Structure 1
Amino acid sequence: MDYEHFVVAAARVVELTGVVVMLAGALVASLAYGRRLMRRTPHQEAYHALRADLGRAILLGLEFLVIADIIGTVAIEPTLQNLGVLAVIVAIRTLLSFALELEVSGRWPWQRPPPAP
């Protein structure tokens, strides 16, 4: 197996890992939501917890997908056009990550968490 095939395979494995992480996270979040409802957790609270769990799963999956894009673009054929496409993809995913982080934690990624009571 030559270098290019190895890098393509590595990028595909990392990409698949990102998809699996998102799917598994969605399944675990759904099961946790059902468990919360069975335990008579108020619907509004269970719903917000579900959204937070789904957001965390998406955030982690997006990180893997960004890694796969970087491996696939930079290691295989780093042309100016490919790097431009990579920059746009990473920018979109980064903005999405920031929005999800704000939704999940209620603060921007660079803000400190509130002090524990």
Structure 2
Amino acid sequence: MRTISACIEAAGVGLMVLGAVIATVSFLYVGLFTAGWPDAFRRYRANLGRAILLGLELLVAADIIGTVAVTPSFQNLEILGLIVLIRTFLSFSLEVEIEGRWPWRKAAETPTKTDEL
């Protein structure tokens, strides 16, 4: 289980690094050749935030596996709870930053077929 947890952690970090590289290349391409720098910067922040969000999800999964399956003690569970709380707050903050609105406002702001007519 320790190996599985370490592999998931490595995948999470790797995903964040790969996402940062891809977002940077996309930023440079869009900025230089298509939409211009302001639009490129907006897309860059959103793409980078998505990569970080996905990486954080994998890191939380690795922490849960590592704590619950490998060394289940009350102290480790308290630490896990604090780590999950911090990473959940980070994920929530990134989601608000990327989307520009609160997550529960998504459904209310999406136009329906009748609204479009």
What TM-score do the two structures reach when normalised by structure 1? 0.89
Question: Where do residues 48-67 of structure 1 align in structure 2 (5 Å cutoff)?
Answer: 48-67=42-61
Q: Which of 71, 76, 84 matches 1:77?
A: 71
Superposed structure 1 runs of 4+ greater than 4 Å apart = none
Please tell me whether residue 45 in structure 1 is matched to residue 39 in structure 2: yes
1:89 deviates by: 0.3
Partner in structure 1 of residue 24 of structure 2: 30
Distance 1:18 1:40 in 2: 31
1:110 deviates by: 3.1
Distance 2:39 2:66 in 1: 41
Please tell me whether residue 102 in structure 1 is matched to residue 78 in structure 2: no
Distance 2:13 2:101 in 1: 26
RMSD: 1.3
Identity %: 46
Does the CA-based 8 Å contact 2:8-2:59 persist in structure 1?
Answer: yes
Letter in 2 for 1:102: V
Name the SS for the 1:78 alignment partner. coil
Unpaired runs of at least 5, structure 2: none
Distance 1:40 1:57 in 2: 22
Aligned length: 111
Unpaired runs of at least 5, structure 1: 1-6
Answer 1 or 2: which has greater helix percent: 2
Please tell me whether residue 111 in structure 1 is matched to residue 105 in structure 2: yes
Q: After alignment, is 36-45 or 13-22 more displaced? A: 36-45
What TM-score do the two structures reach when normalised by structure 2? 0.89
Deviation sequence 1:67-104 (CA, Å, 0-9, x none): 00000000011111000000000000000000000000
Does the CA-based 8 Å contact 2:31-2:39 persist in structure 1?
Answer: no
Partner in structure 2 of residue 91 of structure 1: 85
